[in-house]
Amino acid sequence: MRLALAQIAIEGGDVESNRGRAASAIESAAEHDADLVALPEIFNVGYFAFDTYQRNAEALDGPTLTQISDLADEHDIAVLAGSIVEDLSLTDGERPAEEGLANTSVFFDRDGRRQAVYRKHHLFGYESAEAEMLVPGESLGIVELEGVTVGMATCYDLRFPELYRDIAEAGATLVLVPSAWPYPRVEHWQILSRARAIENQCFLATINGSGSYDDATLIGRSTVYDPWGTLLASTGDEPDMVVRDIDPKRVEQVRKSFPAWHDKRR
């Protein structure tokens, strides 16, 4: 599988410009023959633009995700639209019991069909309005894509290893983590991501944005780790794209050569 991580520049509250950059990134990933491209956390609104969340919240069939679906179909590429501010009152079907807003990622297949929805479980409260404004998700995001079982998590979820074990036990061999991780916590970003790959013996890819809003500046550094925790590819903090081929058989090889899962006890 060829995986692309779209580290786009995100301007807080400028939805039209952000959508345009996301569309360009999807087109670029397709030109690189990627099978799957992933976008950062709240790529259309900007994570730290809390004062714009309410007016820019959308349904799952709203303008942002409709555009992403059309682009996936047009360019024959799977897309993790990770994530948008979802207005749960506008969404039909499975959703948290409590209405409000959610931090929601959606996975589209090559035909633009919605295959999985993941709402961020762990909401950040430290110098952030996310925990006050949003409703946490309750379900895992797992999807099959051409022989790869893909799991989804979001940013602050990296600090909660139990979630990643649940994802791995559900069969995931690749976990995608759209994020809006800011300075100065570079070491945390790198260590936590690598640890989640190592302890679950799976590929893990973090997709961060680029840019600043008020006092927050995103660190970028979108990265792919293999099941040993080896860094395969990464970026700096400017807009960029990671394109990397990953072999799903590598997960089976690592788990067979170092079968730590057989030794775990509950």
Q: Give 170-200 pLDDT, tens digit per residue.
A: 999 999 999 999 999 999 999 999 999 999 9
58, 86, 130, 155: the catalytic one is: 155
Residue 155 is a catalytic residue? yes
Q: Is it the case that residue 97 has pLDDT exceeding 70? A: no
86, 120, 130, 202: the catalytic one is: 120
Distances (CA, A) of 179 to 38, 98, 189: 11, 24, 10
pLDDT classification of 95: cutoffs 50, 70, 90: low
Work out the average pLDDT over 240-261. Answer: 94
Q: Is the C-alpha dihedral spanning 126, 129, 133, 138 positive or negative?
A: negative
Domain positions in the chain are 2-263
pLDDT tens digits for 11-41? 999 999 999 999 999 999 999 999 999 999 9
Work out the average pLDDT over 197-218. Answer: 95
Q: Is it the case that residue 127 has pLDDT exceeding 80? A: no
41, 58, 86, 130: the catalytic one is: 41
The confidence score (pLDDT) of residue 90 equals: 86
pTM: 0.96
CA neighbor of 110 nearest in space, from 177, 47, 33 = 33
- Report the half-sphere exposure of 10 (CA within 13 A, side-chain side): 36
* Integer-rounded Cα radius of gyration of the chain: 17
37: Cβ contacts below 8 Å, ≥ 6 apart: 3, 4, 5, 6, 25, 26, 29, 30, 77, 78, 79, 80
Could you tell me if 208 and 190 are in contact, meaning their C-beta atoms sit under 8 angstroms apart?
no
> What count of other Cβ atoms lies within 10 Å of the Cβ of residue 6?
29
Domain 2-263 belongs to what architecture?
4-Layer Sandwich (3.60)
pLDDT classification of 94: cutoffs 50, 70, 90: low
Residue 41 is a catalytic residue? yes
C-alpha–C-alpha distance, residues 33 and 10, integer Å: 24
pLDDT classification of 105: cutoffs 50, 70, 90: very high
pLDDT tens digits for 58-84? 999 999 999 999 999 999 999 999 999
Of 43-47, 108-112, 202-206, 210-214, the poorest mean pLDDT is in: 210-214
- What's the mean per-residue pLDDT of the chain? 95
pLDDT tens digits for 151-171? 999 999 999 999 999 999 999
